Chains A and B, each alone.
Chain A
Amino acid sequence: MTDALLDVRDLQVEFDTEDGVVTAVNGVSFSVEPGETLAIVGESGSGKSVSALSIMGLIEKPGRIARGHVDFDNRDLRSIPEREYRKLRGGDLAMIFQDPLSSLNPAFRVGDQIAEALLTHTYESKKAARRQAAVLLDVVGIPQAGDRARDYPHQFSGGMRQRAMIAMAIANKPKLLIADEPTTALDVTIQAQVLEVLRKAQRETDAAMLLITHDLGVVAGMADRVVVMYAGRIVEEGTLDELFYAARHPYTIGLLNSLPRLDSDRRKPLRTIPGTPPSVLNLPPGCALAPRCLYVQDHCLEDRPELTAVGPETHRSACFRSAELPALVGVVTDASS
């Protein structure tokens, strides 16, 4: 029994493929407290989306959860029957997907789809549900919500569809909102709008949020705590400030350094992480980052580092040299690509 709203322990998700078994998520543990926002950051192939889908119970063949615990609200999600799971989805446990185009059914009016979410969980009367749907659309900032509720998804722009999805997700006052790359497909000014809406939605419902993204800028504006994933494992975790200002893993440091920013020196080439992420089919033994790591030592290639505390209990990093990194980073000149 924990206080945490969501408790994931030792999650392992595997996929059967033509070329063998792929371990997309490899022993991942994290938790989310009520009301807080946890960001899971990683690039493609890191396993962040698969982790999110596992929580929602949406992993299907050829994928499966091979091991681990997923506890939500003190219930073991891996052992509940499917119909109980369905009650949770869209109710206490809501998800927002990346693609606003395919997440809404083009054949039904937007308002009706939100109303359906309400009717499935908390509402009885169709009329009341429809009224509430319009209210929700207003909450997410859709102008003339009452009229727009009767539109079809194709009449909504990308940003509006995403807001409609948020409205659907918060309709039943979820305890946990999982947002999987909610703004990646949107233009930057629309992204700013939608993130505002997301913040507001979270405030109004007191929901906790699990934010999956590759965009560190979005993380900086939304998250309380951050988990960084690479090749199916967590390489670093900590509070927002700990991660951005005191990063203790070469991957995190490399990522932060390689971002083109509005405030960095234009004339210098960007500092990059050389090489490419490994194929999850042939992961090297030892640390997954070792082939690309600027601070690699011999034993990194053989032994895999575990997550250990670096400073405050909340801040953990999976690197043998995490203690030395602050000094090293200043000294070692990294090669540009």
Chain B
Amino acid sequence: MTSKHPGSRPGDRLTRQERTRESAAGGMAVAGSSGLLDTSIESDDALAIGEPVRSQWRLVARRFLRHKLAVVSLVILLLLGTMALFANAISPYELNPQLDAATLQGARQPPSWEHLAGTDKLGRDQFTRVLFALQKSLLVGLGVAFLSVVIGVVVGSLAGYYGGWVDQAMMRFTDLVLVLPALAVLLILASNPDPTFFGLFDLPPATEVNGMIVIISILGWMPMARIVRGEYLSLREKEYVEAAVAAGAPAPRIILRHLLPNTLGAIVVFGTLAVGLAIITEATLSFLGAGIQLPDVSLGNLISDAESTVGTDLAYLIVFPGLMLFLVVLCVNFVGDGLRDALDPRAVR
């Protein structure tokens, strides 16, 4: 309640938005929608020993927990993830059982208590197959998110911190990759059985999970780079960065201690949404026949395998993988939305 918040333009010591925040800092919001209440402890007496320190993350967690949709989605994802991880243990059936007479007898069964998702044309338990496919999808999703973030952060950090020609070079390169038609390039890359990193070392092929991760990440890091660069460009102007410079801080310290930690919000949100995008991309590639091949299962190839069942009484074979894909990506997106709201920069100081 004791400060005005200066504006950033010369002559304008307070913009309305910032003054709204400042009134908010006084413990009140002005005209509702644009304000946020600062619940900081004001008087010196209140900052007594023993008061719990309210770190930023706790505030974020509290805000996230208020998004019921996001919380439910997170729970569902955790559930699915656990199931997928322990697919071996959970399912009484094998992924690829011996195709003997007994199995073939039980083929084409609709969903029942014994086979929750029915059996396919060869008698294999569809639910088991979907679970293993989900395992791959989640691994790819998380792997791509991680790798894209790493590449994007490195590129974006250099561009955002150094500016000048480094920035130009990095960003033009980023633009170049952005311009490539993603699906076409992915298909080409995926069809290469012996990929190498510019001839320097071997990479896993797209038929494996790791290969998928590498390929999708190649075309997935650009938005992260842009986001990080953008954040750094604005954070660089912040006075606490100037203060560090004035104390003699070298570049690595400024990037790692001041710029990066304050960009975490944007990174987390991007990373989460990248998971969903990666899962869909992988499913698409496998559906089209590139990427993961049968008998290795992927949600994509399970769907394509059951393509012809639409409209027949074997339609359950396509419904389950499809539904699973839809559900996972939806939940990931809801969690991402919840995180974005929880990390809203207007709310976090």
Contacts and interface: CB of A to CB of B under 8 A. Distances in A.
* Chains A and B come from one and the same complex: yes
Contacts of B46: 279, 282
Interface in A250-291: 275-282, 291
Contact of B43 (A19, A103, A279): A279
A158 interface: yes
Interface string A59-88: 111110000000000000000000000000
A238 interface: no
Interface in B4-19: 4, 7, 9, 11-17, 19
Contact of A187 (B11, B17, B19, B44): B11
Contact of B13 (A19, A185, A275, A281): A185
B32 A44 contact: no
B24 to A, nearest CB: 9
A24 B17 contact: no
A183 to B, nearest CB: 10
B282 interface: no
A17 B22 contact: no
Given A19-B39, A185-B15, A281 B27 contact: yes
A324 interface: no
Given A99-B16, A185-B12, A15 B29 contact: yes
B42 A276 contact: yes
DSSP class of B's interface residues: helix, strand, loop or mixed?
A: loop
Given A17-B39, A103-B16, A276-B1, A61 B32 contact: yes
Contacts of A50: 23, 28, 30
A44 B15 contact: no
Interface string B33-59: 100010111111110000000000000
Contacts of A291: 43, 45
Contact of B37 (A15, A49, A53, A101): A15
A60 B14 contact: no
Contact of B23 (A49, A187, A279, A281): A49
B23 to A, nearest CB: 6
Interface string B53-70: 000000000100000000
A190 B11 CA distance: 9
B17 A102 contact: yes
A62 B30 CA distance: 9
Nearest to B4: A44
A18 interface: yes
A120 interface: no
Contacts of B25: 44-45
A44 B26 contact: yes
B42 A279 contact: yes
A260 B325 CA distance: 67
B112 interface: no
A281 B13 CA distance: 27
B28 A280 contact: yes
B32 A63 contact: yes
A22 interface: yes
Given A17-B39, A275-B43, A99 B29 contact: no
B188 interface: no
B2 interface: yes
A60 B15 contact: no
Contacts of A15: 28-29, 32, 37
A276 B43 contact: yes
B300 to A, nearest CB: 43
A282 B46 CA distance: 10
Interface in B279-293: none
A185 B14 contact: yes
Interface in B97-155: none
B19 A62 contact: no
Nearest to A59: B31
Given A22-B27, A53-B31, A43 B1 contact: yes
A99 B28 CA distance: 19
Contact of A278 (B29, B40, B43): B43
A47 interface: yes
A105 B41 CA distance: 37
Given A275-B44, A280-B28, 10 more contacts: A44-B2, A44-B25, A45-B2, A49-B30, A60-B32, A61-B33, A97-B16, A101-B15, A186-B13, A275-B43
8 contacts: A24-B28, A53-B31, A61-B33, A99-B16, A184-B14, A187-B11, A280-B27, A281-B27
Task: Please name the 6 residue pairs, one residue from A and one from B, whose CB atoms are nearest each other, closest first.
Answer: A45-B26, A45-B1, A99-B16, A280-B27, A60-B32, A279-B42
